[in-house]
Amino acid sequence: MDLQYFAELFLGGLTRGSIYALIALGYTMVYGIIELINFAHGEIYMIGAFTGLIVATVLTFAGFPTLAVLVLASVAAVVYSSCYGYTMEKIAYKPLRGAPRLSALISAIGMSLFLQNYVLLAQTSDFLPFPSLVPDLPFWEPYAHIISSQEIVIISVTALVMILLNLLIKFTRMGKAMRATSQDREMAMLTGVDVNRVISLTFIIGSATAALGAVLIASHIGQINFYVGFIAGIKAFVAAVLGGIGSVPGAVVGALVLGWTESFFTGYISSDYEDVFAFIFLVVILIFKPSGILGRSETQKV
Partner 1 sequence: MKRFVSFTAIVALVAVFAGTGIAADTIKLGVGGAHSGDLASYGLPTVKAAELVVKDINAKGGILGKQVELVVEDDVCKPEVATNTATKLVDQDVKVVLGHICSGATKAALSIYNKAGVIAMSPSATNPELTQSGEYPYFFRTIASDDAQARLEVDFALDVLKFKKIAVLHDKGDYGKGLAEFAKKFLEEDPRGEVVLYEGITPGAVDYSAVVQKIKRTGAEAVIFGGYHPEASKIVTQMRKKRMDTVLISDDGVKDDTFIKVAGEYAEGVYATGPKDVSKNPLAIAANKAHQDTYGAEPGAFFLNAYAAAQALLNAVEKAGGTEDIDAIVNALRTEPVDTPLGQIKFDERGDAIGVGFSVYQVQNGVYVEVQ
Q: Contacts by 5-10 with C-beta closer than 8 Å and gap 24+?
A: 5/267, 7/146, 8/146, 9/263, 9/264, 9/266, 9/267, 9/268, 10/260, 10/263, 10/264
* Site mask for partner 1 (CB under 8 A), range 115-134, x = bound: ----------xxxxx-----
Phi, psi of 128 (to 5 degrees): -115, 140
Provide the b/e sequence for 245-277 (b: ≥16 CB within 10 Å). bbbbbbbbbbbbbbbbbbbbbbbeeeeeeeeeb
Query: For residue 219, which of 61, 64, 55 has the smallest C-alpha distance?
Result: 55
Residue 223 C-beta: closest distance to partner 1, Å: 5
Angle at 233 between CA 230 and CA 239, to 5 degrees: 150
223 has which bridge partners?
129
Interface stretch with partner 1, choices 31-39, 46-54, 74-82, 215-223 (CB under 8 A): 215-223
CB-nearer residue toward partner 1: 105 or 274? 274
Among 16, 25, 93, 165, binds partner 1 (CB under 8 A): 16
CB-nearer residue toward partner 1: 224 or 294? 224
CB-nearer residue toward partner 1: 12 or 246? 12
Among 60, 123, 200, 225, binds partner 1 (CB under 8 A): 225
Interface stretch with partner 1, choices 87-95, 170-178, 186-194, 262-270 (CB under 8 A): 262-270
- Position 223 contacts partner 1 (CB under 8 A): yes
Measured distance CA(123)–CA(12) in Å, rounded: 32
Angle at 200 between CA 196 and CA 206, to 5 degrees: 145
- Position 144 contacts partner 1 (CB under 8 A): yes
CB-nearer residue toward partner 1: 15 or 82? 15
Residue 49 C-beta: closest distance to partner 1, Å: 12
Chain contacts with partner 1 (rule: CB under 8 A): 2, 5, 8-9, 12-13, 15-16, 19-20, 125-129, 144-145, 148, 150, 217, 220-223, 225, 227, 231-232, 235, 262-264, 266-267, 270-272, 274-275
